[in-house]
Amino acid sequence: MSEVNVGVLFKSYEPMKAIQAYAKQTEESGFSGGFWIAEAYHWFRQYGLEGRGCFATLAAAAMATKNIPIGLGITSPYMRHPTMQASEAAAIDELSEGRFIMGLGVGMVGIQYLEYDIEKMRPVKVHHESMEIMRRVFSGEQYDYKGDLFESTMPAYDRAGDGLRTDIPIYVGATGPFMQRLAGRESDGMLLAGLTSPAWVRTARKNMTLGAEKAGRSLPDDFPVGGVILAACSKDGAKAKKWTARNTGTYIVNKIKNIKNDQILAGSGLPDSAWEPFRKAIEDGTDDNVAHFVTDEMQRRFTVITGTPDECLEVTQELIDNGLNLPLLEVVGDSIEENLESIRLYGEEVLPRLKPAPAELLATG
């Protein structure tokens, strides 16, 4: 049997004190998958939210916990040079005493504000070279690196002698098939985007496995495959679904407007016509108010983990049984206390009842 680790994730637009409260509650509630931060870019200002730096936010979370993993899911390699990404990662890893997991992904809503030629700086090459440089920095060995996109030269430093890790894990946020293959070839784990349906998990795992096989790499059954899943757990199931509907609408808009990956939407099994109201809202400039277009069926098809504890258990187990062994609950509510209650209730009534997927189901990718 493959172990299931469920984590909790918040975007870095949350107040820092709230982040610390969420991280502390996550550890107390037994989430072995850890506490994660996704970098929030200034795109979220249209929703009245202010982005904080992801590494400072991770530091706050690390200081509020003692044992669980601290993960970044994700930041963009377009935002900082790989050597700077490595320096920030090494600092968080030191602060957390070796609990940090680095996550890299395109972050399309963030890089749209930057003057990048995305056709020249293709995501697979950007991530490949970034990971190569970061791992060299983590190793502490002297190196000279000249890629197609990045160059870096660095003298040696005895990180191990200082008690610092030399192999900090790097996960890849992978939306498209080529990034999923890259995750299989080179990463220490794969992270899938919001609105992760079971069909999308299966497709992503196949691409990941194909990438690994072509590189002559054999992935273990418990190779981390995570996904950011909107979540709200409440005794009042209707209230929880109302909370997640807002963010589901935002994710749908993001997939249409920024990510432009119709396969994710198609993975829900809903007809293309279901997204017409969202497309019209984008055209009209009203895409900051689309929650009323989100139905309970949409949320269920996208396996949004929402509702009563029993409903949350059913959805989470479905994702696990389709190969997601690291569900990351993006908890959303109307207040800090409601978010804390979601974490507590899920930890008390859902986590103990989850069952790992049999290894033989995962062996085929």
Tell me: the pLDDT tens digits for 55-74? 999 999 999 999 999 999 99
What span, in angstroms and rounded, lies between the C-alpha atoms of 343 and 88? 28
What is d(CA 37, CA 9) in angstroms, rounded to the nearest whole number?
6
On whether residue 260 sits in a domain, the answer given is no
Rounded CA-CA distance 162/334 in Å is 44
Looking at the domain assignment, is residue 251 inside a domain? no
Q: What is the mean pLDDT of residues 162-174?
A: 97
Is pTM beyond 0.85 here? Answer: yes
Of residues 78 and 113, more confidently modeled = 78
Helix boundaries (H) for 29-101: 54-63, 82-95
Cα–Cα distance for residue pair 65/75, rounded to 1 Å: 21
Q: Could you give the number of structural domains in the chain? A: 1
Residues 6+ apart with CB under 8 A from 3: 222, 325, 356
**287 belongs to a structural domain:** no
Q: Is residue 150, in this structure, part of any structural domain at all?
A: yes
Examine residue 259 and state whether it is found in any structural domain, yes or no: no
Q: Are 186 and 133 in contact (CB under 8 A)?
A: no
Residue 27, domain CATH: 3.20.20.30
Span 155-178, average pLDDT: 97
Pairing of strands 151-154, 143-146: antiparallel
Evaluate if residue 288 carries a pLDDT over 70: yes
As given in the structure block, the two tokens for residue 92 are 């968080």
DSSP 303-352: T-EEESHHHHHHHHHHHHHTT--EEEEEE--SSHHHHHHHHHHHHHHTGG
Domain of 118, in residue numbers: 7-238+306-362
Report if residue 262 sits inside a domain.
no
Determine, yes or no, domain membership for 1.
no
Structural domain includes residue 246: no
Q: What is the mean pLDDT of residues 75-96?
A: 96
Tell me, what's the pLDDT at 254?
Answer: 79
pLDDT in tens, 127-147: 999 999 999 999 999 999 999
Say which range, 156-165, 228-237, 265-274, has the weakest mean pLDDT: 265-274
CB atoms within 10 A of CB 113: 11
Whether residue 261 has pLDDT greater than 80: no
Selected residue with higher pLDDT from 247 and 63: 63
Task: Give the pLDDT of residue 263.
Answer: 73
